[in-house]
Amino acid sequence: MKERAEFATKIGVIAATVGSTVGLGNIWRFPYEAGSHGGGAFIIIYIACVLLVGIPVMLSEFVIGRSTHRNSRGALKELLPNGKWHWISYLGIVASMMILSFYSVVAGWTIEYLYISIAGGLSHHSMAEYSAMFSAVSESPWRSLFWTLLFLIFNFAIILRGVQKGIEKISNVMMPLLFIILIVFCVNSLLLPEASKGIKFLFNPDFSSITPTVVIDAMGQAFFSLSLGLGCLLTYASYYSNDTPLVRSATVISLLDTAVAILASIVIFPAVFSFGMQPEAGPKLVFQVLPDIFQRMQGGYFWSIAFFILLFFAAITSTISMSETAITFFIEEYNMSRRKATAINAIVAIAFGSVCALSFGVLKDFTLFGMTVFDLFNYVSSNILLPIGGLFFAIMVGWLINKKIVNDEFTNNGTRHITMARPIIFCIRYISPIAIALIFLYGLGFFNFIK
Ligand code: TRP
């Protein structure tokens, strides 16, 4: 077998995985999902999903990846040689390409907004003008194709040149800065006239707004934001060294990721209510609210530039992790060269990314199941494919693979005592799979007969 690298430092492990988890999922997707689903109630269900499903599934991926030091298919074949369990890894590869496609469109908007900020376009406008600005950004075929493809070029150039490690080093600085800038923005938002309405919306749950859709979307959001279910963190964990503490890492990473999502919401919702916007605006929410926040800030010109640069880094460390998952898979399972594997990933992403980029404009009437291709990829990947992957990872680690392996991975071969081991294993075996299965059935309307 080829020699495989290991992450050099402890901070490197956490940083690369945080780079994967923290991204547009936290800052763009979480606020609009929460906004569309009643705020507080969504957040409570989301947090329950992170604790009861997210952390256990993350640990399951860590155990599978680190114990085998292989990509998802190779790992499953090694741990469960009998049977067809490795098939689940194909689902993950499909999901990674779907996500990369629509994610690049939003990352493209991020670069375009950076460009607009630098050109001084984010000041002296009315809300209506910002709304028109977003329509122009998202609906114009050439603009959206251009910025989406530009983002993909960055992504694949980094991967082809093998400078991911360099990007991760930069993002070691960028992610803490992103955290700090969000805190500054939070303070700013909390001083807005109607801030209390936004805070109430976020932290005063209205349980009557909980419906099957809310629960499914909260679980999907947890999988998406924590990069779970497609073998991405499994692949990253395959590079962890044998003394990385898995339980502690999974906990810290999940809490950080959740903190960023909640901070982003504390920035957005006081502004939404103060400026008289609709919390359920959907994918455009954040891009419409932010310019108005910036233009009211002291030094808004610089804040906006800094913010979009940081968001760009958050996005690209996430897309690198998706591409790396697919590329490692092709290299190790099909003996491909790195170049060829990267080319395949790039061609698929460019093709589907272009279709997603046009979904807000010329292809907005091209729908399947009532959704544009962008919406369909977004929905199917997070709400269906990732939870299915997570369900299998949890079942494998909870029931199928050798218990000694699980135990060795948890305790770093017996050198570490894990107080929470029993409750976590209990979640992996029972709570997470049952919760995922029930949420699916609930979402499919299976329990309607009870009423
Ligand atoms: N978690 C990232 C975000 O929040 C997106 C992401 C990266 C992802 N890798 C993934 C989502 C793997 C699902 C699976 O932006």
By residue count, the chain amounts to: 451
Provide mean pLDDT across the span 44-69.
98
Q: Looking at residue 443, what is its pLDDT?
A: 76
Q: Is the pLDDT of residue 449 over 70?
A: no
Nearest CA to ligand 1 atom 2: 21
Nearest CA to ligand 1 atom 9: 227
Provide mean pLDDT across the span 421-429.
96
Q: Looking at residue 205, what is its pLDDT?
A: 94
Residue that is written with structure tokens 């605006």 in the block: 281
Q: Tally helices (H) and strands (E) across the chain.
A: 22, 2
Q: Is the pLDDT of residue 265 over 70?
A: yes
Name the residue ranges covered by the structural domains of the chain. Answer: 10-450
Nearest CA to ligand 1 atom 4: 25
Provide mean pLDDT across the span 76-91.
94
Nearest CA to ligand 1 atom 10: 227
pTM of the predicted model, to two decimals?
A: 0.96
Residue 326 CB–ligand 1 contact under 6 Å: no
Measured in Å, residue 82 CA sits from the centre of ligand 1 at 30
Q: Which atom of ligand 1 is nearest to the CA of 381?
A: 13
Residue 30 CB–ligand 1 contact under 6 Å: no
Provide mean pLDDT across the span 286-312.
96
Residue 321 CB–ligand 1 contact under 6 Å: yes
Residue 232 CB–ligand 1 contact under 6 Å: yes
Q: Looking at residue 7, what is its pLDDT?
A: 62
- Would you state the structure tokens that stand for residue 99, as one six-digit string? 């996500």
Residue 26 CB–ligand 1 contact under 6 Å: yes
Residue 227 CB–ligand 1 contact under 6 Å: yes
Measured in Å, residue 20 CA sits from the centre of ligand 1 at 6
* One-character DSSP codes across 263-325: HHHHHHHHHHHHTT--TT-GGGHHHHHHHHHHHHSTTHHHHHHHHHHHHHHHHHHHHHHHHHH
Q: Is the pLDDT of residue 349 over 80?
A: yes
Candidates 339, 350, 393, 387; CA nearest to 72 is: 393
Provide mean pLDDT across the span 301-312.
97
Q: Looking at residue 1, what is its pLDDT?
A: 44
Q: Is the pLDDT of residue 81 over 70?
A: yes
Measured in Å, residue 428 CA sits from the centre of ligand 1 at 21
Over residues 119-138, the pLDDT tens digits come to: 999 999 999 999 999 999 99
Provide mean pLDDT across the span 358-367.
96
Nearest CA to ligand 1 atom 12: 227
Over residues 320-345, the pLDDT tens digits come to: 999 999 999 999 999 999 999 999 99
| Cβ-contact 432, 57 below 8 angstroms | yes
Using 50, 70 and 90 to split pLDDT, how confident is the model at 197? very high
Rounded Cα–Cα distance for residues 223 and 316 (Å): 18
Q: Which atom of ligand 1 is nearest to the CA of 228?
A: 14
* Percent of the chain whose predicted confidence (pLDDT) is above 90: 87
Query: In this predicted model, which residue has the larger pLDDT, 46 or 420?
Result: 46
Testing ligand 1's pocket by substitution, the residue of 99, 319, 320 carrying the most ligand atoms inside 8 A of its CB is: 99
Provide mean pLDDT across the span 401-416.
95
Q: Is the pLDDT of residue 106 over 60?
A: yes
Candidates 114, 105, 96; CA nearest to 358 is: 105
Q: SS3 of 335, please?
A: coil
Q: What does the mean pLDDT of the chain come to? A: 94
Nearest CA to ligand 1 atom 13: 227
- DSSP element (H, E) containing 437: helix 432-443
Q: Is the pLDDT of residue 229 over 90?
A: yes
CATH classification (class only), 10-450: mainly alpha
Q: Which atom of ligand 1 is nearest to the CA of 319?
A: 7
Q: Looking at residue 3, what is its pLDDT?
A: 59
Residue 381 CB–ligand 1 contact under 6 Å: no
Q: Looking at residue 5, what is its pLDDT?
A: 63
Residue 46 CB–ligand 1 contact under 6 Å: no
